[in-house]
A and B are shown apart, each in its own frame.
Chain A
Amino acid sequence: MNITIVDYNSGNISSVVNSFKEVTQNKVNIEVTSNLKKIKSSDKVILPGQGSFKSCVDALNNINGLAESLNEFVINNKKPLLGICVGLQMFADIGYEETETKGLGWISGKVSKIDNQNGKYKLPHIGWNQINIIKESEIFKDIENNSHMYFVHSYEFVPNDKNVISSTTDYSSSIVSSVEKENIFGTQFHPEKSDKIGLKIIDNFINL
């Protein structure tokens, strides 16, 4: 199996790479690249993302043909992709961080700032919070409901179709902590930093 972790200058991806290497123990070929050919020939793709929605979309669009190749992989070829943090947020049509920015449009919806209720809730939402699993998902196989995952974000994905939400997390309101739409998977939390339980989610994705 070939897995590509998309390296598009979206910030620090070494933790993502380390976690996949730990889980696969050299049994799976892991490429860290933005090479379009390699992405196209992959079996699975990981789309990480750190920083702002705008900076990630800009970085992605800076690489000629990358958005199109990902689109072909996900929409035409229906192959599995996992978006992490801003990687998930970019599935949306539009994001409002810094300025209004167009996303990949794979799952219709928007990315807006978490309502901090006039300072009652600190932002970024940093730390370990529980996920309420609301949809059976293969990436949550053997994951107990209310497990703690590591979060760090100030913006939330608000999809139009609530059926894509696979788990939610309580912070200020019920925020989307993961989505699943056919072959498209995304976690707002960081499985690569969520200890053994996070590595299990990565393992589940690899074994899809």
Chain B
Amino acid sequence: MLTNRIIPCLDVKNGRVVKGINFVDLKDAGDPVEQAKIYSDGGADEICFLDITASNENRDTIYKVVEKTSKKCFVPLTVGGGVRSVDDINRLLNCGADKVSINTAAVQNSEVVFESSKKFGSQCIVVAIDAKKNADKWEIFTHGGRNNTEINALEFAKKMENSGAGELLVTSMDRDGTQVGYDIDLMSKISSKVNIPVIASGGVGNLDHLVDGIKLGNASAVLAASIFHYGKYSVKEAKEYLNSKGIPVRI
């Protein structure tokens, strides 16, 4: 049976982890490579790096991080943040990323999704959708959640599937950082709208939220950052909990 995936996400800025795991025995708490290795050894089904480097001069740092990580972690590695073009995707894949997540560029120009999925295959193209609720619908935000495009998130999700995206990483801007749980309504609506897998993101505060994301939100995978970063739960604990709730996981 296909299992539901648990994906810890690491925010990386100028080649360093911003919110790291507080492990006492960690030699270098800011080293993304070491943190990714801890996650993969702990049973993470996939690792996600979100590059939040602001300046262009330091953009190259993420490539080095990906290169080093892919030599140590043998589970899929997804990299997103600041991906603008087919060339950017090519470079990340060559460094050892297995999938690349595209956000702003996909909204500005869906051709990037179309071209890159044709060139590299849909399996490595993830479109990241940042959505915020406005009255009875959800609107797409870009540039790390700063710009409201007023584009309908459900319609955009379908458009991305048709453009060749292999997966959708859906983040609720309303919930992100709140720890009150995923926006289940948003997840389930997008999941039933498209036939590609949906990764739920934004708002996880406890393990029941992961269960809800899968059972109620129909997500194929659940992404979380802070509950793992701060050592509140380990990936193993999360999997055991999901398993106890009847959700198939890889243990």
Contacts and interface: CB of A to CB of B under 8 A. Distances in A.
Interface of A: 11-12, 14-15, 18-19, 21-22, 50-52, 55, 116, 119, 122-130, 148, 150-154, 170-171, 192-196, 198-199
A173 to B, nearest CB: 13
Of A55, A116, A127, A151, the most chain B CB neighbours within 10 A belong to A127
A127 B2 contact: yes
B98 A129 contact: no
A153 B98 contact: no
Interface of B: 1-5, 40, 45, 70-71, 74-76, 93-98, 118-124, 166-167, 195-197, 220-221, 250
B5 A11 contact: no
B70 A18 contact: yes
B193 to A, nearest CB: 10
A84 to B, nearest CB: 13
Of A116, A128, A198, the most chain B CB neighbours within 10 A belong to A128
A52 B121 contact: yes
Contacts of A148: 3, 250
B221 A152 contact: no
A127 B123 contact: no
A12 B76 contact: no
Contacts of B93: 11-12, 14
B71 A18 contact: yes
**Secondary structure at chain B's binding surface: helix, strand, loop or mixed?**
loop
Contacts of A198: 74
B76 A150 contact: yes
Given A15-B98, A193-B98, A124 B76 contact: no
Contacts of A152: 76, 123, 166
28 contacts: A11-B121, A12-B93, A12-B94, A12-B97, A12-B98, A12-B120, A14-B94, A21-B71, A50-B123, A50-B124, A51-B121, A51-B123, A52-B121, A123-B195, A124-B122, A124-B167, A124-B197, A127-B3, A127-B220, A128-B2, A128-B250, A129-B1, A148-B3, A193-B74, A194-B74, A194-B75, A195-B75, A199-B74
B42 to A, nearest CB: 11
Contacts of B74: 15, 18-19, 22, 192-196, 198-199
A124 B124 contact: no
Contacts of A21: 71
Of A14, A52, A55, the most chain B CB neighbours within 10 A belong to A14
B5 A128 contact: yes
Contacts of A129: 1-3
Given A12-B124, A50-B121, A125-B2, A195 B196 contact: no
In the A-B complex, list the 5 residue pairs whose CB atoms are closest, starting with the nearest: A51-B121, A12-B93, A148-B250, A152-B123, A128-B250
Given A122-B196, A126-B197, A152-B76, 4 more contacts: A12-B94, A116-B195, A124-B122, A129-B3
